[in-house]
Structure 1
Amino acid sequence: MSSSGFSEVIDRYRVGFQGLVWVVIARGFDDKLRYFVEEPSLNTFLLSLKNSVSQRILSDVGVLKEVSSFLTFDEGYSYVKNLVVDVCRKVFGRRCNGVSQDELNAVSYYVLRDFVGYGEIDPFVRDQEIEDITCDGVERPIYVFHRRFEWLETNKKLDERVLETVVRKLAYRADREASIAQPIVEGVIRPEGYRVHIVLDAISTHGHSFTIRKYRERPFTVVELVNSNMVDAGVAGLLWLAAENKQGAIFYGPTGSGKTTLLNAIAMLLAPEMKIVTAEDTQEIRLPFHENWMSMVTRLSSDPAVQNITIQAQIESAMRQRPDVLIVGEIRSRESYSFFQAVSTGHGGLTTIHAEDMASLIRRLLTPPMSVPPSLVATAKLLIQVQRLLYKDSVIRRVTYIHEIEGYDPVENRLSVKLVCKWSREKDSWLFNLRDSRLIKDVADLLLLNYEDVLEDLRKRATVLLYAAKKNMDIVQLHILVRRYRREPDKVYREAVEFVKEPYTFKTFDEVEREYF
């Protein structure tokens, strides 16, 4: 690997098929952090072989159909490698005798990349550290949003011909037709399930452009979020208590802060027997152990004969399915009213909203286009702020505040909102004020318990999650632990205390911080 293009290597790792592609995160001589893709090198002969294989595929309908049927590189590897060997022998004869297995693999990689994968942008799609991929036009650097380093310029640029090919492939994989009449299209690329947004050069001045929003194949668990300190066991326990007892919760923050990631992690703690319905634009929520889960996504069409399925329509459908918990990926407009109606009638409700702070969140809810009456807003219990922050020279994600909606005063026509949890930047930990908590009171009333019983259950849940985090339990182990806790909470709690030595202790703050809207 040549280091002539940068002054300092920050990270280096393999991605994709057989680890043939290297990713290098490095600082250039201009002190700018960049993302470098290093694919296998092909000499002149191997490049000719690759081109010959491509021509064979394109000229033979049967071969093209076979190659097009593969969904993954692994599925197509044996077929494509045999094809490479066959073409090599028939076209180049004896020259193939000196071709090594590594060279055959390199040629096979490029054939798979171009016909099964996404061509020039395939390494970005395969890199699980990448959340977003964006190209702003012809010969403009592709940028990626990296989980650890945020936005990075890459060493990839697409000329007009390659960009046209990539955009057409993305539109095809999303089952969309981009044209001069319809220059902006959005859809879900298959089989990965990532969201793509395409803008054609008819209105994009720098040429075709696209953005791909990727979703992790395996969702983050609470254990991973606790160990990364996005939340601690107490915060996770509080959210678990609320979700399991069908209390409405709204996760809010800016784009990319981790709202949906946290929501998904908490939803995975719900009892697998619960009837859960999710309504989303693009499927992001994944609940691998919930068989009684019904997932819906939007369907928009310009054809008047085809019914548009919006988030609003999905919520209306969900309410006819008697869900225990309704999860809406994001509320933006009229569907907000329907979501809060569902919460007000005793259904659990989890959703996300884009908002910078709690005050702007309340304003968004109360004003058009959402226009949710304050009496309905008050049916939600928790408002959870999730932020992406610069902390000690690193970009981190943290739950920074949790507020309770205490209620709505019809005489004063105002909502009362109380702070129950806040993140301390100084200590990178969380402080709680759970005295006279509406959430604890409502759960106690629901379960016919007293306040202290529910508070004790919360302490136990936090300790059990701390135990899971310290043992670094995987997704299956965590699922089994949570199921066991429902059946025999005291036994699991004692097991947790024995391992962690000290039960989880809620650090507190005394002042009451209340706001009215």
Structure 2
Amino acid sequence: MKSQPQPSSQHSTPAGDSYDELKLAVHHRLLESMDLNRANKLDQPELQTECERRIRQMIDSLNGSVAETAKDQIVQEVLDEVFGLGPLQGLMSDETISDILVNGPDQVFIEREGKIEQVPIRFRDDEHLLNVIRRIVRHSGRRLDESSPMVDARLPDGSRVNAVIHPVALDGPSLSIRRFRNRGFSLDELVSNGMLCVEMADFLRCCVQLRMNVIISGGSGAGKTTLLNALSSSIPTDERVVTIEDAAELKLRQHHVVRLETRPPNVEGAGEITTRDAVRNALRMRPDRILVGECRGAEAFDMLQAMNSGHSGSMTTMHANGPVDAFRRLESMLCMAGMEVPVSVMREYVGSAIDLVVQVERLGSGVRKVMSVAEVRPIEGGAAQIEDIYRFCLSSVSNAGSGQSGYYEATGCVPTLLSRFRTLGVTFPEGHFAARRLERTPELRKGGANESH
């Protein structure tokens, strides 16, 4: 495996405290010397060039004996403080990093290829970390203070941010950044990464193209959004798609896409736009399909109503431990929406709306897998029967969980959806769904080639 680029560290200079003091003094002098009216007339590259020139002059005036390499590092770190995310900016430039987790000024962790590791990066103190968080929140138009100490936001590159401060965060400010590739994975790339097998991908691709309603369920960081992004690439380009998310993450490749984002209440407690509000509004926008980034509450009622009333081919994700658990959660969400009907009617309503449940999971080794593709089959009595069509079978674990191996299999369950496929001119080879082992995957070790989210 090729070596990964290492993030720079604020500890990685020979000057120690005097280095930090010099950098802080230069930073303060730069801010004091800036003419905001003139700065606003410059574009960012010109402004950065001017700031770099001033920083070098200030370093020379404060300490003429600074080595050139240390001077270059001070220049870069001060520019990161002014234009970027301070000590985290170097991590943001590393495309192999999928998550940045800050537990406090001295505890910064990253996730790379499914494995979490601590990195030698630090903030000066809680206030330094808080300033970076405030800058993120301010640019995203969100609010963060003691009366509203938790916030979700989005960086300009699409990365998702969650921040928590006092009094909820007992040990100081906490920051979590989920990073996404500039371009989403395709299904073929996910097959190459080992997240699913070819047969699964071909079947799911057909299901999306033929407007089946799909739920992707799994735990946090299991790869739900990544798979939803990949499936969305199979939506025909002539269809109008409306996406609804708390923090926009989906990167659809179609050109006829409307992206909606929820909004928390303002300081006066007004102006909130919930996922349910957005789903209801989306139904008035003449969508062919609606994609909801995550379904977690009363919006489930409106989402299922859309699926049952002419907006087939819609998709969403949700947190659940399995397909059956996903259905139980949907029933709970319908209760949250005030749907007061017998349980049998509620289950029939859910079962008639959903065609497929795809379960994803992050294994102990850190790799992400599609664990099952299950069809929802309505039966008499109002309940829905959930049958696995494909599944991943974990066959062995070695080295205290550091390596895992397994294989995909077709269960022998022939989907009832095939009758709908045939009417649309789509057929599968004879024996395609026969019970058999589909593929043996190589041993999957922690940090293996599976970087999807």
Aligned residues: 416
Q: Per the alignment, do residues 429 and 407 of structure 1 end up closer, same or farther by CA in structure 2, a change over 3 Å counting?
A: same
State whether structure 2 residue 434 is matched by structure 1 residue 508. yes
Aligned equivalent of 1:323, options 287, 290, 305: 287
Contact 2:155 2:161 in 1 (8 A): no
Q: What percent of counterpart residues are identical? A: 23
Structure 1 residue 308: deviation in Å?
2.0
Q: How does 1:129-140 map to 2 (within 5 A)?
A: 129-137=96-104, 139=106
Structure 1 residues 88 and 363: CA distance shift in structure 2, 3 A: closer
The alignment status of 1:55 with 2:38, answered yes or no, reads no
Q: When the two structures are superposed, what TM-score results if normalisation uses the length of structure 2?
A: 0.81
Which deviates the most, 327-336 or 44-53? Answer: 44-53
Give 1:284 deviation, angstroms: 0.9
Residue 48 of structure 1: CA displacement?
7.2
Structure with more helix by fraction: 1
Residue 319 of structure 1: how far off its partner (Å): 1.3
The answer as to whether partners of 1:328 and 1:350 remain within 8 angstroms in 2 is: yes
The answer for the alignment partner of 1:462 in structure 2 is: none
The answer as to 2:347 corresponding to 1:374 is yes
Structure 2: segments with no counterpart, 5+ residues:
340-344, 396-404, 438-453
- The one-letter code of the counterpart of 1:509 is A
The equivalent residue for 1:123 is 90
Residue correspondence of structure 1 range 85-234 to structure 2 within 5 A: 85-87=56-58, 91=61, 95=64, 100=68, 102=69, 104-137=71-104, 139=106, 141-149=107-115, 151-158=116-123, 159-182=125-148, 184-234=149-199
Is 1:81–1:104's contact at 8 Å kept on the other side of the alignment?
no
Q: Is the contact made by 1:280 and 1:298 (CA closer than 8 Å) also made in structure 2?
A: yes
Query: How far apart are residue 345 of structure 1 and its match?
Result: 1.8
The superposition leaves residues 148-180 of structure 1 with CA deviations (integer Å, 9 ceiling, x where unpaired) of 31x323333442332333333333233334323
Q: What RMSD over aligned residues (CA atoms) do the two structures have, in Å?
A: 3.3
8 Å Cα contact 1:300-1:310 kept in structure 2? yes
Paired position in structure 1 for 2:410: 432
With a CA cutoff of 8 Å and minimum separation of 6, indicate the structure with the bigger relative contact order.
Answer: 2
Which residue identity is paired with 1:238? F
1:328-347 alignment, distance < 5 Å: 328-347=292-311
Choose from 232, 251, 271 the match for 1:267. 232
Give per-residue Cα distances to partners, 1:60-99, cap 9 Å, x unaligned: 242697399877xx7765333333344456x369x48x96
Q: Distance in 1 between matches of 2:155 and 2:38?
A: 17
- Cα deviation, 1:181-217, whole Å, max 9, x if unaligned, reads 33x2313243233333333223432123233333333
Preserved CA contact (<8 Å) 2:412 2:435:
no
In 2, distance between residues paired with 1:435 and 1:247?
A: 18
Structure 1 residues 232, 203: CA separation in 2 closer, same or farther (over 3 Å shift)? closer
Letter in 1 for 2:35: G
- Choose 190-199 or 239-248, whichever is displaced more: 190-199
Contact persistence 1:243–1:267 (CA under 8 A): yes
Give me the whole-angstrom Cα distance separating, in 2, the residues matched to 1:12 and 1:88.
Answer: 34
Q: Render the CA deviation track for 1:287-334: whole Å, top value 9, x for unaligned.
A: 1x3110011010121355843211111111211122222111011111
Distance 2:15 2:271 in 1: 53
Write the distance in 2 (CA, Å) between the matches of 1:304 and 1:402.
45
The 1-side partners of 2:377 and 2:26 are apart by 67
Partner Cα separation in structure 2 for residue 157 and residue 86 of structure 1: 26
- Quick one: which of 417, 420, 424 aligns to 2:389? 420
TM-score normalised according to structure 1 size: 0.71
CA contact (8 A) 1:193 1:283 kept: yes
1:421 shift after superposition: 1.0
How far apart in 1 are the matches of 2:145 and 2:183? 35
Match in the other structure for 2:442: none
Distance 1:397 1:283 in 2: 22
Q: Is the CA contact (8 Å cut-off) linking 2:144 and 2:151 kept in structure 1? A: no
Following TM superposition, the consecutive aligned residue runs of length 4 or more in structure 1 with deviations greater than 6 angstroms are: 44-49, 67-71
